[in-house]
Amino acid sequence: MAFGRGKAILLGEHGVVYGHPALAAGLEVGVTAFATDAKEDRLFIDPWDVEVSPADTPELAAAFRAVRGLYPERPVEVRATVALPAGAGLGCSAALGVGVVRALDAWAGETPTDDEVAERALRWERVFHGNPSGIDNTMAARGGLLLFQHGAAPVPVRARNPIHLVIGNSGSSSSTRAMVDDVARQRTRSQKKVDGAFEAIAAMVKNGVAALERGELKNFGQLMDMNHALLASLMLSTNELETMCQEARSAGALGAKLTGAGGGGCMVALAPNAEKAHEIVRSLGHINKEAFVAQAG
């Protein structure tokens, strides 16, 4: 079964679109997919109950066309099962793209490397996000804990301690394309402010990698909080995300921030240990927010 994994950006979203580095963790959850010969080309997506043919006009059909063209012409049916919330900052569309690409690879008898899979899935991502940095499709194909920078080979980060994360969903979805476009508009109006924020975030990414390598989780948590404040200054946070980050911190998180495009979607918190991570999940449950524990690296 082909698999594309979800991701959580721990530091650096949005700046990464402008060539700055970002640090992300692959998740255990994602999209599984399988391809077989068929009478005509079709993509089925569960549990959304969606059926797409490459001739349809919606974005999903365009994305399917974008990758379908890379493979033999004989008709194929791809069935994908999505176990990630869509529009929640966890890289659902990239995980779907990678799942579909890997299913088509297996069907066509091809064995590309993870980086080649990521490259193919970028065609899919471009349909949805216009100008993606490439972090989501890279994480969906490779997983692990990676330092990503557009145009450079991703660098695996060796954290000294296990990293216990809590991912909490605000329940409101947002469009990555819309949030990236909104930041671009702000940058047109006040380039100095936006570039200044991204430079500060880039320094946090650098310091964050060093903190993880040295096992300084408290410092890493502080960097997450600072990164969140800068993202909020770019109007990427919401009241719900603020409440959730606050709740996670009060429940013992070392740091918490929005993750992904913002404007809704998920937050990620760093717990000092596994037990605390479960406590944080429970406290988010008390404010009616779904959350789960994930381990990075």
CA–CA distance from 269 to each of 8, 126, 260, 275, 279 (Å)? 10, 29, 13, 14, 12
Considering only residues 41, 77, 136, 247, which one is a binding residue for ligand MEV as defined by CB under 6 A?
A: 136
Least distance CB 198 / ligand MEV (angstroms): 11
Residue 27 interacts with ligand MEV (CB under 6 A): yes or no = no
* Comparison of 7 and 102: residue with beta carbon closer to ligand MEV: 7
Min CB(39)–ligand MEV separation in Å:
36
CB of 180 to ligand MEV, least distance (A): 5
Estimate to the nearest angstrom the gap between the alpha carbon of 37 and the chain centroid: 31
Do 231 and 259 meet the contact criterion of CB atoms below 8 Å apart? no
Burial class (CB in 10 A: 0-12, 13-18, 19+), 181: middle
Q: Is 143 left (phi over 0), alpha (psi -120 to 50) or beta?
A: left
Identified binder of ligand MEV from the candidate list 253, 261, 266, 284, rule CB under 6 A:
261
Choice between 234 and 291, CB closer to ligand MEV: 234
Residues touching ligand MEV, count (CB under 6 A): 16
Angle between helices 217-233 and 239-250 (to 10 degrees): 160
Interface residues for ligand MEV in 83-112 (CB under 6 A)? 89, 91
6 part of the interface to ligand MEV, by CB under 6 A: no
Q: Is 260 in the site for ligand MEV (CB under 6 A)?
A: yes
Between 41 and 240, whose beta carbon lies closer to ligand MEV?
A: 240
Pick the piece of the chain touching ligand MEV (CB under 6 A) from 27-35, 69-77, 129-137, 199-207.
129-137
CB of residue 122 to ligand MEV, shortest distance in Å: 10
Residue of the chain from 10, 16, 141, 157 that contacts ligand MEV (CB under 6 A)? 16
Q: Is 176 in the site for ligand MEV (CB under 6 A)?
A: yes
Q: Which residues contact 224 (CB under 8 A, 6 or more apart)?
A: 10, 11, 208, 254, 255, 256, 257, 268, 269, 270
End-to-end alpha-carbon separation of the chain, Å? Answer: 23
Helices and strands, number each (H, E), in the chain: 9, 11
Residue 139's DSSP bridge partners are none
Selected range binding ligand MEV among 98-106, 111-119, 133-141, 206-214, rule: CB under 6 A: 133-141
Query: Would you call 187 helix, strand, or coil by DSSP?
Result: helix
Least CB distance to ligand MEV at residue 136 (A): 5
| 32 forms part of the interface with ligand MEV (CB under 6 A) | no
The one-character DSSP state at 17 is G
> Which residues from 66-85 bind ligand MEV, rule CB under 6 A?
none
- Candidate segments 126-134, 188-196, 201-209, 225-233, binder of ligand MEV by CB under 6 A: 126-134
Compute CA distances 136 → 9, 11, 42, whole Å: 9, 13, 24
CB 254 within 8 A of CB 219: no
168 binds ligand MEV (CB under 6 A): no
Of 124, 128, 126, nearest to 97 by C-alpha is 124
**CB nearer to ligand MEV: pick between 255 and 262:** 262
Contact set with ligand MEV (CB under 6 A): 9, 13-14, 16-17, 89, 91, 129, 132-133, 135-136, 176, 180, 260-261
